[in-house]
Chain A
């Protein structure tokens, strides 16, 4: 369709390709480098060179962090919160999103209420008080319930349900089905791909979240992986975080390799779902941009 107008444009094109490649390389480099270091051995560090490639690939760091009870436990908690939290998200968001597509008394007020909640927030402390008054401090539910619905996702999902032709619902209503049955037996099965996309986004959010845990959980035994990761890497206290036994302290690989391995383990689930995310997200964002 488009033809090159001049040789100058062809050079411009080549320049564009090269610069994009450099940008992508710069963005990818940290992941690459951290992966490499996480597999490096003590010998690599003693060479005191800039390491780009381990001379000797070892799993010491990974073996070490998985020996830690605290680390394994934090992974379990993160998995629980991610799965449980996403199920709650989907249940709450999809029922309300669908109900808001049906004509009913007070719908306008509800929609306004949802939108207002996106524009104004009373801040951290009142929300914290509510969680506290509900007795959820130190409970994993505090990481799930306060974010049960993302208003933005709710509106995007409602937009998606609105795109399902009305005839489907009307026909079922004439056949004597009620709205709950229609939602469960017709709408949900029709929306599986969309729900999968929302599930992925919610799940990534749960896996990555750390602040609610810092806010609401005082008991380190309940910390999810991101909080433990913060302690290992950012606060630079791998020993305190991993709760070493004497054995572990004596057989410790270089701390950098431990820190980098912990980062890789915490990122791996994201990398695993990334291809699926990618398939969905462009569509999702576009639905969202059509306000």
Chain B
């Protein structure tokens, strides 16, 4: 495209003496431009190399999905098998279980972990004493910066059979220990609970920024009209938050096949594997642990493509309903 715009003035030149110089001069102009911008390319070099090697070369790794990769033969010499790996995906009941787990956990997260930061931001927004607000914010933002190992570590220490909570329940009410960590029924709720603990506070930051952008005059006018607090929230604050909520929901829906690999990998154990194994962890177990590289790549590629379609689709949907969308 750039080349075309460079050539255009030459193509419309009527002076026939210019024609022999046409190509060299446009090429020379490009070369001169490249030379003039050489220091910019120098600055670009590390970053471009990074993106090529670690972000785009792996995209060729997609080819693995169409081969029967064997580490002894290497990527080049492993035989092509066409869509065999994808056929295996659809024939494998385990994949469907994993997909169901993924979607179930994701929708549980969207249902509970998504609205809580909005509520919390609304509450923080109603606090007029700045110092109080800051103290609360400092505390609720903190867990976001703690590692998942620490979060699951804390959950383990509190919830295991001989853990803090079971000790307390036992001593206060004489209850038998509840096996929170190995009971499959607790797995998804715990995932959500941990996400809420870690991210609910941090999640408010973006909503608070949006709330700060709402015109204060709207509130003053509403007060003059005698609107109550709840009416102000319903008619001014929530509509003001709408675009932010829509954009974040798009992002979340676009990544409905991701549900926090790090967290779930740490939470899984033999007892919860059948309800907690999600697409990301499945790819890891199949590929890295079982060495079924091609199959795991095929699962990963399928997930990537569906994710791409979802996010582009959700974005288009948001635009159709009059919101700004993401891109």
Which A residues contact B (CB, under 8 angstroms)?
A: 1-3, 5-6, 8-9, 12-13, 16-17, 19-21, 23-24, 27-28, 30-31, 33-34, 48-50, 91-93, 95-100, 102, 104-106, 110, 113-115, 117, 119-130, 134, 145-146, 148-149, 151, 154, 178-180, 183, 204, 207-211, 215, 226-227, 229-230, 233-234, 236, 256, 259-260, 263, 266-267, 270, 274, 277-278, 281-282, 285-286, 289, 291
* Further pairs besides A95-B46, A99-B47, A129-B58: 8, Cβ < 8 Å: A13-B126, A27-B139, A50-B171, A99-B41, A122-B62, A126-B64, A226-B149, A270-B147
**Interchain nearest-CB distance for A164 vs B (Å):** 15
In the assembled complex, the Cα of A100 lies from the Cα of B50 at a distance in Å of 15
In the assembled complex, the Cα of A95 lies from the Cα of B72 at a distance in Å of 40
Q: Which residues of B contact A260 (CB under 8 A)?
A: 157
CB-defined A-B contacts under 8 Å, sample of 10: A6-B228, A95-B43, A104-B37, A114-B51, A123-B296, A179-B39, A208-B148, A208-B150, A289-B244, A291-B327
Which of A9, A16, A28, A123 lies in contact with B300, CB distance below 8 A?
A: A123
Asked if B175 CB lies within 8 Å of chain A CBs, one says: no
Q: Which residues of A contact B30 (CB under 8 A)?
A: 105
Which of A110, A115, A120, A209 lies in contact with B44, CB distance below 8 A?
A: A110
Q: Which residues of B contact A126 (CB under 8 A)?
A: 58-62, 64, 297, 300
Q: Which residues of B contact A9 (CB under 8 A)?
A: 228-229
Whether the pair B58, A178 counts as a contact (CB closer than 8 A) is: no
C-beta contact mask, B307-327 vs A, less than 8 Å → 1, else 0?
110011000000000000011
Known: A122-B59, A180-B43, A267-B150. Contact between A274 and B51, CB under 8 A? no
8 Å CB interface, B54-108 against A: 54-62, 64, 75
Instruction: Flag the segment in B10-18, B20-28, B183-191, B218-226 that touches A.
Output: B218-226
Task: Give the bracket for the number of chain B residues in contact with chain A.
Answer: 35 or more
Which of A146, A256, A263, A278 lies in contact with B54, CB distance below 8 A?
A: A146
Q: Which residues of B contact A121 (CB under 8 A)?
A: 58, 304, 307
Instruction: Flag the segment in B234-242, B261-269, B270-278 that touches A.
Output: B261-269
Name the CB-closest residue of A to B30: A105
Tally inter-chain residue pairs, CB-CB below 8 A: 268
8 Å CB interface, B148-168 against A: 148-150, 152-154, 156-158, 160, 164, 167-168
In the assembled complex, the Cα of A2 lies from the Cα of B257 at a distance in Å of 44
Whether the pair A5, B223 counts as a contact (CB closer than 8 A) is: yes
In the assembled complex, the Cα of A128 lies from the Cα of B297 at a distance in Å of 10
Whether the pair A226, B132 counts as a contact (CB closer than 8 A) is: no
Asked if B8 CB lies within 8 Å of chain A CBs, one says: no
In the assembled complex, the Cα of A115 lies from the Cα of B308 at a distance in Å of 12
Which B residues contact A (CB, under 8 angstroms)?
A: 2, 30, 33-34, 37, 39-48, 50-51, 53-62, 64, 75, 120, 123-124, 126-128, 132, 135-136, 138-143, 145-150, 152-154, 156-158, 160, 164, 167-168, 171-172, 197, 201, 205-206, 209-210, 216, 219-220, 223, 226-229, 244, 261-262, 265-266, 280, 283-284, 287-288, 293, 296-297, 299-301, 303-305, 307-308, 311-312, 326-327
Known: A27-B197, A34-B157. Contact between A99 and B43, CB under 8 A? yes
Name the CB-closest residue of A to B164: A33
In the assembled complex, the Cα of A153 lies from the Cα of B134 at a distance in Å of 26
Which of B48, B75, B244 lies in contact with A129, CB distance below 8 A?
A: B75
In the assembled complex, the Cα of A130 lies from the Cα of B136 at a distance in Å of 44
Whether the pair A211, B54 counts as a contact (CB closer than 8 A) is: no
Whether the pair B149, A234 counts as a contact (CB closer than 8 A) is: yes
**Interchain nearest-CB distance for B266 vs A (Å):** 6
Whether the pair A19, B43 counts as a contact (CB closer than 8 A) is: no
Q: Which interface residue of A30, A34, A124, A204 has the most chain B CB atoms within 10 A?
A: A124
Known: A120-B308, A125-B287, A180-B43. Contact between A230 and B154, CB under 8 A? no
Which of A20, A95, A114, A259 lies in contact with B136, CB distance below 8 A?
A: A20
Q: Which residues of A contact B135 (CB under 8 A)?
A: 24
**Interchain nearest-CB distance for B12 vs A (Å):** 23
Name the CB-closest residue of A to B6: A105
In the assembled complex, the Cα of A3 lies from the Cα of B128 at a distance in Å of 11
**Interchain nearest-CB distance for B103 vs A (Å):** 18
**Interchain nearest-CB distance for B325 vs A (Å):** 10
**Interchain nearest-CB distance for A166 vs B (Å):** 15
In the assembled complex, the Cα of A180 lies from the Cα of B38 at a distance in Å of 10
Whether the pair A149, B47 counts as a contact (CB closer than 8 A) is: yes
Q: Which residues of A contact B148 (CB under 8 A)?
A: 208, 210
Which of B209, B308, B326 lies in contact with A282, CB distance below 8 A?
A: B209
Q: Which residues of B contact A134 (CB under 8 A)?
A: 53
Whether the pair A50, B307 counts as a contact (CB closer than 8 A) is: no
Which of B33, B56, B141 lies in contact with A117, CB distance below 8 A?
A: B56
In the assembled complex, the Cα of A289 lies from the Cα of B210 at a distance in Å of 9
Whether the pair A28, B139 counts as a contact (CB closer than 8 A) is: yes
